[in-house]
């Protein structure tokens, strides 16, 4: 007897399977013993053309857990390589499955991927599973980034598996469904450049261009233009990270997308006290991916993409290197433009001048000197409550404040315009580290999701200056201690 199915709204393509076989391995799903839906992103589901009610049904949960293949899906694990902490290695989806690409109601094509779905040929001895805590962390942080207006992958759901896994401790297993513009990484190009042919490299590049930069397809030397576009998007993305104090924690080349989205929320967190050397990752012993290093690491990663594309940029190696190097020289200025413009907006300055760099640099220097909270300092400046900052009363800060006020008065705009600009640029809420840990602890240890749901509600509206959720603004008393996050693999 044919099994009855209900219509969730899936409308899958499988365009990635048209690429050379070297780029993926089609595999069966790895069922779990007792899947249970614990989080479902209703708003995201609707935007994808999916029905939340049917997603939450028994059939829907089985699909989200990897117990059942979504209609039209062809599960596959993607192959890629990457420089991990500077060391090049062969990688691939060791605990993830790409199910296909959903055609949304707006005609967009987005990847549907299960994370924590079990072993693949790229697991390298791992179990291919994921813990509940790390999957919930990714859900929280990625939704916060989305609300902040930062390009990011997103989480559709988290399903517990009914099975325990062993990491630092024994913890409940979980599968997350991740949505992305695509999962094509700098490391994907590195993989093909090292182990594929030029024809394979061309096929991958054409696929990436057609999917993310279609306007380039008919352009002369589209591969150089493609590199330039990726550089532009990454410069804009990293500037947005820096402007809100986000620290990715593991900026390996396999964790940088060519679409310009933030991906792979492992040992990530937001900075409390402003300190450029802040590192949260337990595995980043030497601070390679510290807050202050993120812009330069992005440039380093992009240089690896440029190297991979050399055979396509020009048939003459010397000329290809020259053109790629010229493209790369644009990154520092492009990043700085995004960064300075963003910092100007945070200070209510809409038309940046040379003298404004002094205002930015000296504010950050004073914030570091006085252990000022990054987010709250800009929030207080926005509200005009300088007396509540830890720097108030200091002579240097008072002089800085006078110069800042004089600069604002030079602008031919109203005070209301300036405040609106600042309110749009300075979030009230970020997922504070202690709040995230509190939510994860309640969910993982007590199966209590109320704390997490409250946190999600607050961070979904990060620029709400009429808030009554003042508890979520507070910094914990022990914030000066070394907060550590873990990768989860």
Burial 111-136 (b: 16+ CB within 10 A, else e): bbbbbbbbbbebbeeebbbbbbbbbb
Task: Choose one of 132, 157, 180: the last residue of a domain.
Answer: 180
Confirm whether 294 is domain-assigned.
Answer: yes
Q: Which two tokens stand for residue 96?
A: 């993830």
CB count within 10 Å of CB 28 equals: 10
Name the one residue in this structure whose structure tokens are 């365009």: 15
Q: Give the residue numbers spanning the domain of 332.
A: 184-428+473-489
Mean pLDDT of all residues in 475-485 = 62
Confirm whether 7 is domain-assigned.
Answer: no
109-115/96-103 β-pairing: antiparallel
Judged against a pLDDT cut of 70, whether residue 487 lies above it is answered with no
Task: Choose one of 150, 180, 210: the last residue of a domain.
Answer: 180
- State the pLDDT at residue 174: 98
Distance CA 195, CA 217 (A): 25
Widest pairwise Cα distance in the chain: 82
Judged against a pLDDT cut of 70, whether residue 3 lies above it is answered with no
The dihedral sign for the CA sequence 427, 428, 429, 430: positive
Distance CA 432, CA 435 (A): 5
Judged against a pLDDT cut of 50, whether residue 480 lies above it is answered with no
Judged against a pLDDT cut of 70, whether residue 304 lies above it is answered with yes
Distance CA 175, CA 181 (A): 20
CB burial of residue 66 (10 Å; 0-12, 13-18, 19+): buried
Confirm whether 306 is domain-assigned.
Answer: yes
Same domain membership, residue 296 and residue 374 = yes
Same domain membership, residue 226 and residue 173 = no
- State the pLDDT at residue 286: 83
- State the pLDDT at residue 281: 78
Q: What are phi and psi of 191, to 5 degrees?
A: -60, -50
Domains: count for the chain: 2
> What H or E segment, with its residue span, contains residue 403?
helix 395-409
**Average pLDDT of the residues of the chain:** 94
Question: What pLDDT, in 10s, does the model give residues 380-427?
Answer: 999 999 999 999 999 999 999 999 999 999 999 999 999 999 999 999
Confirm whether 144 is domain-assigned.
Answer: yes
Q: What are phi and psi of 131, to 5 degrees?
A: -85, 155
Confirm whether 213 is domain-assigned.
Answer: yes
Helix, strand or coil, per DSSP, at residue 308: helix
Q: Which two tokens stand for residue 377?
A: 């300092």
- State the pLDDT at residue 477: 72
Distance CA 252, CA 264 (A): 10
Which neighbouring-strand residues pair with 212?
A: none
Percent pLDDT > 70 in the chain is 96
Q: Catalytic amino acids?
A: 254
Judged against a pLDDT cut of 70, whether residue 256 lies above it is answered with yes
Same domain membership, residue 287 and residue 164 = no
Task: Choose one of 180, 197, 228: the last residue of a domain.
Answer: 180
Q: How far is CA 62 from CA 146, 158, 227, in A?
A: 27, 12, 40
Lowest mean pLDDT among 46-55, 149-158, 475-484: 475-484
Same domain membership, residue 204 and residue 103 = no
Same domain membership, residue 300 and residue 348 = yes
Same domain membership, residue 395 and residue 485 = yes
Same domain membership, residue 299 and residue 194 = yes
Helix, strand or coil, per DSSP, at residue 355: coil
Same domain membership, residue 217 and residue 171 = no
Confirm whether 442 is domain-assigned.
Answer: no
Identify the band that residue 110 occupies on the pLDDT scale cut at 50, 70 and 90.
very high
Same domain membership, residue 245 and residue 135 = no
- State the pLDDT at residue 125: 86
Judged against a pLDDT cut of 90, whether residue 266 lies above it is answered with no
CB count within 10 Å of CB 217 equals: 11
Mean pLDDT of all residues in 111-116 = 98
> What H or E segment, with its residue span, contains residue 333?
helix 330-346
The dihedral sign for the CA sequence 340, 344, 345, 351: negative
- State the pLDDT at residue 2: 42
Tell which wins on pLDDT, 489 or 394. 394
Q: Structure pTM? A: 0.95
Confirm whether 440 is domain-assigned.
Answer: no
Same domain membership, residue 195 and residue 176 = no
Mean pLDDT of all residues in 148-153 = 98
Confirm whether 46 is domain-assigned.
Answer: yes
Question: What pLDDT, in 10s, does the model give residues 210-242?
Answer: 999 999 999 999 999 999 999 999 999 999 999
Identify the band that residue 485 occupies on the pLDDT scale cut at 50, 70 and 90.
low
DSSP-assigned letter for residue 100: E
Same domain membership, residue 410 and residue 277 = yes
- State the pLDDT at residue 168: 80
Identify the band that residue 143 occupies on the pLDDT scale cut at 50, 70 and 90.
very high
Pure H helices in 245-281: none
Percent pLDDT > 90 in the chain is 90
DSSP-assigned letter for residue 196: S
Lowest mean pLDDT among 31-35, 84-88, 237-241, 311-315: 84-88
- State the pLDDT at residue 147: 98
DSSP-assigned letter for residue 451: H
- State the pLDDT at residue 478: 65
Same domain membership, residue 157 and residue 97 = yes
């Amino acid at each position: 007897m044919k099994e009855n199915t209900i219509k969730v709204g899936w409308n899958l393509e499988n365009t990635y399977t048209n690429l050379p076989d070297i780029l993926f391995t089609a595999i069966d799903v790895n069922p779990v013993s007792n899947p249970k839906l614990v989080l479902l992103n209703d708003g995201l589901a609707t935007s994808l053309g999916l029905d939340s009610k049917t997603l939450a049904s028994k059939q829907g949960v089985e699909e989200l857990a990897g117990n059942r293949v979504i209609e039209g899906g062809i599960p596959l694990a993607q192959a890629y390589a990457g420089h991990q902490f500077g060391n090049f290695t062969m990688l691939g989806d060791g605990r993830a499955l790409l199910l296909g690409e959903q055609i949304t109601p707006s005609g967009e094509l987005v990847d549907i991927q299960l994370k924590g779905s079990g072993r693949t040929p790229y697991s390298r001895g791992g179990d291919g599973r994921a813990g509940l805590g790390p999957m919930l962390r990714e859900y929280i942080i990625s939704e916060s980034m989305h609300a902040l207006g930062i390009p990011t992958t997103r989480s559709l759901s988290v399903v517990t598996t009914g099975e325990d896994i062993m990491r630092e401790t024994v913890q409940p297993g979980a599968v997350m469904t991740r949505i992305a513009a695509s999962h094509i990484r700098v490391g994907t190009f590195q993989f093909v450049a090292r182990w594929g042919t030029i024809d394979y490299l061309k096929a991958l590049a054409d696929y990436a261009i057609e999917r993310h930069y279609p306007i380039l397809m008919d352009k002369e030397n589209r591969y150089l233009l493609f590199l330039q576009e990726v550089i532009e998007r990454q410069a804009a993305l990293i500037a947005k990270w820096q402007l809100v104090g986000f620290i990715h924690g593991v900026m390996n080349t396999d964790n940088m997308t060519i679409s310009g989205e933030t991906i792979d929320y492992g040992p990530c967190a937001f900075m409390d006290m402003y300190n450029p050397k802040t590192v949260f990752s337990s595995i980043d012993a030497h601070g390679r991916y510290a807050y202050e290093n993120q812009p330069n690491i992005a440039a380093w990663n992009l240089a690896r993409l440029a190297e991979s594309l050399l055979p396509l940029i020009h048939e003459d190696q010397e000329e290809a290197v020259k053109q790629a190097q010229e493209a790369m020289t644009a990154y520092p200025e492009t990043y700085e433009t995004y960064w300075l413009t963003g910092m100007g907006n945070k200070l209510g300055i809409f038309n940046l001048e040379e003298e404004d760099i002094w205002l930015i640099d000296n504010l950050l220097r004073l914030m570091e000197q006085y252990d000022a909270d990054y987010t709250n300092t800009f929030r207080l400046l926005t509200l005009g409550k300088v007396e509540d900052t830890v720097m108030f009363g200091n002579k240097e800060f008072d002089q800085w404040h006078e110069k800042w006020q004089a600069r604002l008065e030079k602008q031919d705009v109203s005070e209301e315009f300036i405040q609106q600009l600042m309110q749009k640029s300075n979030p009230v809420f970020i997922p504070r580290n202690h709040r995230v840990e509190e939510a994860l602890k309640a969910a993982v240890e007590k199966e209590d999701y109320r704390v997490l749901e409250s946190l999600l509600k607050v961070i979904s509206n990060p620029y709400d200056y009429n808030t009554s959720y003042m508890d979520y603004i507070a910094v914990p008393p022990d914030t000066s201690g070394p907060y550590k996050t873990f990768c989860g693999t």
